[in-house]
Amino acid sequence: MTRTDDPELSLHLHLETLIALHGARRVVLAALGALMAPRARRPLAKTFAELDDHMRRDIGLPPRGHSPPMPHWSHFGW
């Protein structure tokens, strides 16, 4: 009976099973391909656009700019 509660032993058994099923060359090439593949990253532009000017200044970004002028009728409280 084989103990599989040891993570290192469990990984070794999984690798042996993969090599037995697919061959050493395919396993190594798949592992190298997974290491060399570019990783997906979160789009940061959307989160930076949502920051107010104070937070943007704190992390070194330029301010978004002035807010658009208020329409003339807003001065009357409508």
Interacting residues of 53 by C-beta distance below 8 A, sequence separation 6+: 63, 64
Q: Write out the chain's pLDDT in tens, 78 residues.
A: 455 567 777 888 899 999 999 999 999 999 999 999 988 876 666 677 778 888 888 888 888 877 667 666 666 665
Q: How many CB atoms lie within 10 A of CB 10?
A: 13
Quote the pLDDT of residue 29: 95
Quote the pLDDT of residue 1: 46
Answering whether pTM is above 0.75, one says no
Contact 50, 43 (CB under 8 A): no
Name the token pair of 66. Answer: 């002035």
H helix or E strand, kind and range, residue 31: helix 24-36
